[in-house]
Chain A
Amino acid sequence: MLSIISLSLFGILNLFLGFLKSRRVLLPATLLFIALAFAANLLDWNHQYVYFRDMLRTNNLFINFSSIILLTTFLTVAISRSFGTDEEHTHPAEYYAIMLFSVVGALMMVGFENLIMLFIGLEILSVSLYVLTGSDKRSLRSNEAALKYFLMGSFATGIFLFGIALVYGATGSFNLSAIGSYVSGGPTTGISPLLYVGLLFILAGMLFKVSAAPFHFWTPDVYDGAPTLFTAFMSTVVKTAGFAALYRLLTVSFTGVYGLWWQVLTGVTVLTLLVGNITAVYQSSVKRMLAYSSVSHAGYLLIAVAAKTPQSPSAILFYSLAYSIATITGFAVLILVAEQKPIEGRPDERYEAFNGLAKRNPLLAFSLAVSMVSLAGIPLTAGFWGKFFVFSTAVDRGMTNMGMVLVVAVLMSVVGVYYYFRVIIASYLKTGDSEPIGIRPLYRFILVLTTALTIGLGLFPDVVRQLF
Chain B
Amino acid sequence: MNVNYIWYFLTFLTLVSAIMVVVVRNPIHSVLYLILTFFCISAHYVLLNAQFLAAVNVIVYAGAIMVLFLFVIMFLNLREYTAESKTNLVKLGAAVLGGVLLVIIVAALRSMQIEPLNKATYNSQVGMVESLGKVLFRDYLLPFELITVLFFVAMVGAVMLGKRETGERNF
Where the two chains meet, the residues of A that have a C-beta atom closer than 8 Å to any C-beta of B are 4, 8, 11-12, 15, 51-53, 55-56, 81, 83-86, 88-91, 94, 97-98, 101-102, 104-105, 108, 114, 116-117, 120-121, 123-124, 127-128, 130-131, 134-139, 146, 189, 192-194, 196-197, 200, 227-229
Q: What is the distance, in angstroms, from A159's C-beta to the closest C-beta of chain B? A: 10
By beta carbon, the residue of chain A nearest B148 is A8
Give complex CA distance A114, B140 in Å. 10
A138 touches B165 (CB 8 A): yes
Give complex CA distance A4, B109 in Å. 39
Give complex CA distance A135, B75 in Å. 25
21 examples of A-B residue contacts, CB within 8 angstroms: A11-B149, A53-B139, A55-B141, A55-B143, A83-B171, A84-B170, A86-B167, A86-B168, A89-B167, A91-B170, A101-B149, A124-B153, A128-B157, A131-B153, A138-B169, A138-B170, A139-B169, A193-B109, A193-B112, A196-B108, A197-B108
By beta carbon, the residue of chain B nearest A8 is B149
What's the interface size class on B, roughly?
Answer: 20 to 34
A120 touches B157 (CB 8 A): no
Instruction: Take A127-B154, A197-B105, A229-B171 as given contacts and tell me if A55 and B149 are in contact as well, using a CB distance cutoff of 8 Å.
Output: no
- Report chain A residues within 8 Å CB of B167: 86, 88-89
Give complex CA distance A228, B170 in Å. 12
- Report chain A residues within 8 Å CB of B156: 15, 94, 97-98, 131
Kindly name the residue among B111, B147, B160 whose own CB sees the greatest number of chain A CB atoms within 10 A.
Answer: B160
Contact with A along B113-141 (1 / 0, CB 8 A): 10000000000000000000000001111
B170 touches A135 (CB 8 A): yes
Kindly name the residue among A15, A128, A134, A139 whose own CB sees the greatest number of chain B CB atoms within 10 A.
Answer: A128
- Report chain B residues within 8 Å CB of A55: 140-143
A134 touches B161 (CB 8 A): yes
A94 touches B160 (CB 8 A): yes
Contact with A along B55-97 (1 / 0, CB 8 A): 0000000000000000000000000000000000000000000
By beta carbon, the residue of chain B nearest A339 is B171
By beta carbon, the residue of chain A nearest B171 is A227
B160 touches A193 (CB 8 A): no
Give complex CA distance A12, B165 in Å. 23
B104: Cβ under 8 A from any A Cβ: yes
Instruction: Take A88-B167, A131-B157, A131-B160 as given contacts and tell me if A101 and B108 are in contact as well, using a CB distance cutoff of 8 Å.
Output: no
Instruction: Take A130-B157, A194-B108 as given contacts and tell me if A135 and B146 are in contact as well, using a CB distance cutoff of 8 Å.
Output: no
Q: Which of the residues A83, A84, A135 comes within 8 Å of B160, measured between beta carbons? A: A135
Give complex CA distance A294, B170 in Å. 25
- Report chain A residues within 8 Å CB of B23: none
B105 touches A114 (CB 8 A): no
Other contacts beyond A52-B141, A101-B152, A137-B165: 13, CB < 8 A? A53-B139, A55-B143, A84-B171, A89-B168, A101-B149, A104-B149, A124-B150, A124-B153, A128-B153, A130-B157, A131-B156, A137-B170, A194-B112
A53 touches B170 (CB 8 A): no
A89 touches B165 (CB 8 A): yes
B170 touches A83 (CB 8 A): yes
Where the two chains meet, the residues of B that have a C-beta atom closer than 8 Å to any C-beta of A are 104-105, 107-109, 111-113, 138-143, 146-147, 149-150, 152-154, 156-157, 160-161, 165-171
A137 touches B161 (CB 8 A): yes
- Report chain B residues within 8 Å CB of A121: 146
Q: Which of the residues B113, B142, B161 comes within 8 Å of A56, measured between beta carbons? A: B142
Give complex CA distance A121, B142 in Å. 12
- Report chain B residues within 8 Å CB of A91: 160, 170
By beta carbon, the residue of chain A nearest B158 is A131
- Report chain A residues within 8 Å CB of B160: 91, 94, 131, 135
Closest 6 CB pairs of A and B: A131-B157, A52-B142, A193-B108, A227-B171, A55-B142, A86-B167
A227 touches B170 (CB 8 A): yes
Give complex CA distance A94, B168 in Å. 17
A131 touches B161 (CB 8 A): yes
Instruction: Take A84-B168, A137-B170, A193-B107 as given contacts and tell me if A120 and B143 are in contact as well, using a CB distance cutoff of 8 Å.
Output: yes
Instruction: Take A89-B167, A120-B147, A134-B161 as given contacts and tell me if A53 and B111 are in contact as well, using a CB distance cutoff of 8 Å.
Output: no
Q: Which of the residues A11, A84, A134, A229 comes within 8 Å of B169, measured between beta carbons? A: A84
- Report chain B residues within 8 Å CB of A131: 153, 156-157, 160-161
A136 touches B171 (CB 8 A): yes
Kindly name the residue among B152, B153, B161, B166 whose own CB sees the greatest number of chain A CB atoms within 10 A.
Answer: B153
Q: What is the distance, in angstroms, from A241's C-beta to the closest C-beta of chain B? A: 15
By beta carbon, the residue of chain A nearest B152 is A101
By beta carbon, the residue of chain B nearest A170 is B112
Q: What is the distance, in angstroms, from A103's C-beta to the closest C-beta of chain B? A: 10
By beta carbon, the residue of chain A nearest B107 is A193
- Report chain A residues within 8 Å CB of B166: 89
Give complex CA distance A130, B147 in Å. 17
Instruction: Take A137-B170, A139-B169 as given contacts and tell me if A11 and B143 are in contact as well, using a CB distance cutoff of 8 Å.
Output: no
B168 touches A189 (CB 8 A): no
Instruction: Take A192-B112, A194-B112, A197-B108 as given contacts and tell me if A102 and B165 are in contact as well, using a CB distance cutoff of 8 Å.
Output: no
- Report chain B residues within 8 Å CB of A229: 171
Q: What is the distance, in angstroms, from B134's C-beta to the closest C-beta of chain A? A: 12
- Report chain B residues within 8 Å CB of A123: 150
Give complex CA distance A124, B157 in Å. 12
Q: Which of the residues A53, A108, A146 comes within 8 Å of B146, measured between beta carbons? A: A108
A197 touches B104 (CB 8 A): yes
Q: What is the distance, in angstroms, from A112's C-beta to the closest C-beta of chain B? A: 9
Give complex CA distance A40, B37 in Å. 47
Q: What is the distance, in angstroms, from B113's C-beta to the closest C-beta of chain A? A: 6
B157 touches A104 (CB 8 A): no
By beta carbon, the residue of chain B nearest A134 is B161
Q: What is the distance, in angstroms, from A421's C-beta to the closest C-beta of chain B? A: 29
Q: What is the distance, in angstroms, from B129's C-beta to the closest C-beta of chain A? A: 20
Give complex CA distance A193, B114 in Å. 11
